[in-house]
Structure 1
């Protein structure tokens, strides 16, 4: 039985959107794979690691991953639970209009220089709106195409996304911290616990994480938890339970934090995807 479940949510020729769920049975590196088109992959649940040559990228809900056409890669799942992603393929001429030249390799073939960018909360919300709207058959084609292009534009924008720039050693350290955070989103981690797992001091960990990701580690973890809430809002009836399951101290704490990041309360967002 395949470890993948793939559902095409939209295919207009200009834009194809698929929901890809992987059970994560392959804990170590998979066999080499490649794609016949450039894919923009938005993880919204779980975590995996993508290996391109000697370059590794931790894929979780704060990241956009670029899968270049005909570029070989491998995938591993060091954390149990599998993953789920929204996979977009944009017609190449349209994609070139959305991405700056600085992000692309030189040459005639469209290929991204780096395989990941950190997206902002607005892009995370657009991922959820697009996925919930299409899977529930609430979004009409024109609306869904517009949402998808807005999502890509924001996720590739220099002002609305972040391309980590760091040495391989620092990036590897930060990626190990991300895997630890992703292993249990509801856990109230301490700096000492994470630093001990990574093998550095708490001070060094906070400094390196800030330098690589341009945000504090605690805020990165918070965005992972809230992105999980975006994923689950379609299936939870009791929002107090959802907040508690994600490690928030109370419904008011969950609701206020969610609104601060996404501009609306969990209840308001839930109504928008159930309209």
Structure 2
């Protein structure tokens, strides 16, 4: 059985959108692969690590990954559970128009300097809205194309995304921390527990994470949990159960936190992805 299931959601001359689910059977590095076009990959469930030469990046729901055309890479799944991603291929001329020049390598071939960027909550919500609307067949083509380009524009925006920059040692510490958090999103972690897992003091952990990600560790973890909620809203009828399953203390806590981050309650978002 293949490790992958691929569901085509949209294919026009401007953008192609696919939903890709991987079972994560490959715990260690896979064989090298490369793609024919540049893909923008938005993980929305689970976690994996992408390796390009000696450069690694942890792929989870706070990230956008760039799979540059003809660039060899490997993938591993150090955390069980596999992953799922929304995969976008934008027509090259349109992508060049959307991408800030500082993010692109020089040369004829379109390629991004970095493996990925962190996206903001609005971009996460757009990922969920685009995927749910297309999979439920409630978005018309023009609407879906507009949503997809809006998602790309926001995810590449200098004021709405973040490219982590740090020494290799600090980046590896932050990456290990992300894997720990992703291993159990519903767990109410303490700093001491995470610090033990990654082998540093709580003070050092918080300092380094803030420096690398420009965001407190607790907020990063919260966004991972809320992104999981965006993924699951199409499956849960009981939102109180969803909130409790993700480690929130009550429905009101879940609902108010969700609204603070995404600008609407879980129930309102759930209605927005229903039949229209």
Pairwise same-fold verdict (TM > 0.5):
yes
Deviation at 1:108, TM superposition (A): 1.2
Deviation per CA, 1:95-126, whole angstroms, max 9, x where unpaired? 00000110011111111000110000000000
Deviation at 1:94, TM superposition (A): 0.2
Aligned to 1:80: 80
Cα distance between partner residues in 2 of 1:193 and 1:13: 49
Aligned to 2:265: 265
Aligned to 1:11: 11
Aligned to 2:145: 145
Deviation per CA, 1:118-138, whole angstroms, max 9, x where unpaired? 000000000000000000000
Name the SS of the counterpart of 2:273 in structure 1: helix
Aligned to 1:100: 100
Deviation at 1:87, TM superposition (A): 0.1
Deviation per CA, 1:25-82, whole angstroms, max 9, x where unpaired? 0000000000000000000000000000000000000000000000000000000000
Aligned to 1:156: 156
Deviation per CA, 1:165-216, whole angstroms, max 9, x where unpaired? 1111111000000000000000000000101110100000000000000000
Find out whether 1:127 has 2:122 as its counterpart.
no
Aligned to 2:209: 209
Cα distance between partner residues in 2 of 1:107 and 1:199: 42
Name the SS of the counterpart of 1:274 in structure 2: coil
Aligned to 2:243: 243
Structure 2: unaligned runs, 5 residues or longer: none
Name the SS of the counterpart of 1:84 in structure 2: strand
Cα distance between partner residues in 1 of 2:147 and 2:35: 24
Aligned to 1:230: 230
Cα distance between partner residues in 1 of 2:169 and 2:139: 44
Deviation at 1:14, TM superposition (A): 1.1
Aligned to 1:199: 199
Cα distance between partner residues in 2 of 1:232 and 1:183: 17
**TM-score between the two structures when normalised by the length of structure 2:** 0.99
Find out whether 1:110 has 2:110 as its counterpart.
yes
Aligned to 1:44: 44
Deviation >2 Å, runs of 4+: none
Aligned to 1:165: 165
